[in-house]
Structures are given as C-alpha cells and as structure tokens.
Amino acid sequence: MFRELFVNLQPENQHVTAAMVRTQHFRFFTFILFLFLALIVSPGSVANASEKSHALTESLTDTTFQYDEDLIVEQEFDAGKMIMEHVVDNHEWHIATLGHAHITIPLPVILLYDGEIYAFLSSKFHNPTHAYKGFVLEHGKIHAEVVSGKTVFDFSITKTVFALLISCFLLLWIFISVANRYKRNPKSAPKGMQSLLEPVIIFIRDDIAKSSIGEKKYEKFMPFLLTIFFFILLNNLLGIIPIFPGGANVTGNIAITMVLAVFTLVLTTISGNKHYWVDIINTPGVPWWLKLPVPLMPVVEIIGIITKPFVLMVRLFANMAAGHIIVLGFVSLIFIFGSINVALGLGVSIVSVAFIVFMDLLEILVAFIQAYVFTLLSALYFGLATIETEHH
C-alpha cells in the first residue's frame, strides 16, 4: 500500500490501476464493517446492573454499589485498580456507565484447551462466578475452572486487538483513498487528505530515509518506514481520545511495541551486508587485546544488536503508558479528595482538570515525537547495516 503511494509521488510513475485499488478497498471495508456490526449487535452489549455487578469493566468514577437488605453500601474508590483497568488489556470494551448500567462491547473469546477450540463472547462471563464452559475469567486472565495441569491457550480478540483492527482499517482506508486519487489525477495539485499527508511522506523520505540510509538504498525501506510511522502516530493519537473508538492503550502495550521492534531487528539483520558483519566480528580501531584471547568487543557488538531494538520497544511503551497513568492519576485525585470532603474535591478538580488538559496537549506532542524517533532510529539501523566500505 505505502509502496504504491510512494511510487505515485514520483513524477515518472503515473500508472492508472484504480479498479484493483477499489476492489481491495471494498474487501477491507466489508470485512471490518461486518466485524464491527457483529460485535455491536451481539447479545449482552448493553447490560443492567445485576448482570454487570461482577464484570471486569473500566470506570472513572466509583459507581459500583452493593445491595444488602435495601441498604446501599458504597464501595471505597480504588485508584490503583481503576488505573490498571484502563492501562492493561481487557476482554471487553467499556463505552460508558449510565447510573448502574455499563455499556460495553463484548469481544470474542477464542480458547484452545485439551485439543478443542472454544469460541464465545466475553459477556458469558457476566455471572456471579465469572465462569462459563469450565473456564474462569479472573483479573483479565482466563484459566480452566478445574486444575488439570493442561494449558489454556488464549487467542481472544481483546480490546487491544480490536483497537489494532480499527487502526489498520483506518490506515488502509486513508492511504488507499489517497493513492487512488493520485492515480486518477496524477498531475493535479494535492487536495484534502493528500495535501496533509504528502509533506509528511516527503519529510520521511528526504529527512529520515535518504539522510540515514543513503540515496542508493533508501527506497526499499520506505514502505516499512512509512508504515511504522503512521501506525505508531495513529495509535498514539487514538489512545488520547477518551471515547470509542479511541481510548485503547495500543502503543502502551509492550507486546505491540515488541513486535514493531522485532520487525526492525529482522530487517536490519537480513539487510546487513558483508562489511556490517565484519565490523561486528572484527571491529576496526579497537586494540587487539579487546579481541584476543577473549573476544570482548565481538560479544559487546552482538549484545548491541539485541539491545538496540529492545530500547526501541521500551521507549515507546514507557512513554505512552506513562502518559495515560499520569492523566488517570489526576482524575483519581478528584475522587480521593472528594471522598474526604465535597468542597475539597471540587477545589482539587479545578487543579486536576487543568493538569489533565496540559498533559493531553503534551501527549499529542509526544505522540508525534515517539513516531518520529522510532522511525528515525530504525532508519539509522538500516543505514548502518547497508553502509559500504568506502563510506566507512
């Protein structure tokens, strides 16, 4: 997709193949629309208080109550639990809380256990025991109700996975539409989304890819660099939006950032030329006693191959997760002080809201910075792996 869009930015390539693009566009749109409607219309998407009293849902306010002989006992607000429920993954997507009713999207649960596949919606766990078909949902994890020594393999579509599908659909829709417009009107001035994206694409090409990899070899890395930049940027921005389909902590999930870092590692490894590997085994300019009899420098260089993508993974994960935790911490202060005194809670809320607005604006800046840094460092690693001898 990005390769087609990038090629269409070059003046010498103006082929008209819009029919194929429209067909791909229609297929992706139909699939995502079907999945979304299936999740929305599925039973249990809007549940009442009795059905939801034991559900693992997210809540910004302490709206959960216990009923005992017509006496209402308000539960104590747990800031740590609320923050973790928002940051970690979940088997359902909480939309809103209206009174005692929690509006959620139940997500598909897909389990492999004892050679059999079990598939059902997460709303089936909304019962006093949190159990269904011999499985129990506890603290966001699913395990067998009876201990048998057999492992439950969870392939469920969780909140993070569902948000991932949404962001991929948005990326495909945006860039296929832009590429299609380029093919229909190759010589016309960019309009709308074209005028917004073209400067960013050219910036990544000229200031990141060319300067880091070189004029001769940068083109084959452009699709990957464009993909990770816009993927990270879009998910960073969606994570800041508090309402559906935003609010999911995709780039704050270390599994997602690990996969992105592994892609960078694999591409760097398979792209490395002879000069790259020789420098790792026999680093020039290093005293011989650091190489023999103990190969200290080669070991350090090999460790560096792994630590570079590890740093990419942790940097993106830590920055995005920390931003969400800080914002939720300020929200928690309102209810913590409000439980002590209503007037004190109102006074703290003014300060908290001001800091929340400031942090959201800062997170928008961080969203762009983290996408840029991840892309730039990946390009630098590609450049080091493909550098020629005469350039050393």
Domain that holds residue 343: 189-391
Q: Supply the pLDDT for residue 45.
A: 35
- Structure confidence by residue, pLDDT tens digits, 191-207: 888 888 989 999 999 99
Q: Supply the pLDDT for residue 100.
A: 72
Q: Supply the pLDDT for residue 1.
A: 52
Residue 355 in any domain: the answer is: yes
The closest alpha carbon to 378, from 320, 315, 321, 319, belongs to 315
Rounded to an integer, what is the distance from CA 150 to the centroid of its chain? Answer: 31
pLDDT above 70 coverage of the chain, percent: 79
pLDDT above 90 coverage of the chain, percent: 28
Residue 49 in any domain: the answer is: no
φ and ψ at residue 122, rounded to 5 degrees:
-65, -20
The mean of the pLDDT values for the chain is 78
Q: What contacts 139, CB < 8 A, 6 or more positions away?
A: 56
**CB contact at 8 A, 17 and 176:** no
Q: Supply the pLDDT for residue 41.
A: 35
pLDDT of 46 strictly over 60: no
HEC sequence for the chain: CHHHHHHHCCCCCCCCCHHHHHHHHHHHHHHHHHHHHHHHHCCCCEECHHHHCCCCCCCCCCCCEEEECCEEEECCCCHHHHHHHHHCCCCEEEEEEECCEEEEEECEEEEEECCEEEEEEHHHHCCCCCEECCEEEECCEEEECCCCCCCCEECCCCHHHHHHHHHHHHHHHHHHHHHHHHHHCCCCCCCCHHHHHHHHHHHHHHHHHHHHHCCCCCHHHHHHHHHHHHHHHHHHHHHHCCCCCCCCCCCCCHHHHHHHHHHHHHHHHHHCCHHHHHHHHCCCCCCHHHCCCCCHHHHHHHHHHHHHHHHHHHHHHHHHHHHHHHHHHHHHHHHHHHHHCHHHHHHHHHHHHHHHHHHHHHHHHHHHHHHHHHHHHHHHHHHHHHCCHHHC
pLDDT of 232 strictly over 90: yes
The burial class, CB within 10 Å (0-12 / 13-18 / 19+), for 107 is buried
For residue 9, name the pLDDT band (cuts at 50, 70, 90).
low
Mean pLDDT of 28-52: 38
The closest alpha carbon to 57, from 155, 136, 137, belongs to 137
Q: Supply the pLDDT for residue 366.
A: 92
Prior bond to 43 cis, omega within 30? no
Residue 371 in any domain: the answer is: yes
Residue 331 in any domain: the answer is: yes
Q: Supply the pLDDT for residue 380.
A: 93
Q: Supply the pLDDT for residue 60.
A: 34
**CB contact at 8 A, 223 and 6:** yes
**CB contact at 8 A, 18 and 183:** yes
Residue 95 in any domain: the answer is: no
pLDDT of 31 strictly over 50: no
Question: How many structural domains comprise the chain?
Answer: 1
pTM of the model: 0.75
Residue 243 in any domain: the answer is: yes
φ and ψ at residue 71, rounded to 5 degrees:
-105, 130
Q: Name the more confident of 96 and 356.
A: 356
Q: Supply the pLDDT for residue 391.
A: 47
Radius of gyration of the chain (CA): 25
Residue 61 in any domain: the answer is: no
- Structure confidence by residue, pLDDT tens digits, 273-298: 888 888 777 777 777 777 777 777 77
Residue 89 in any domain: the answer is: no
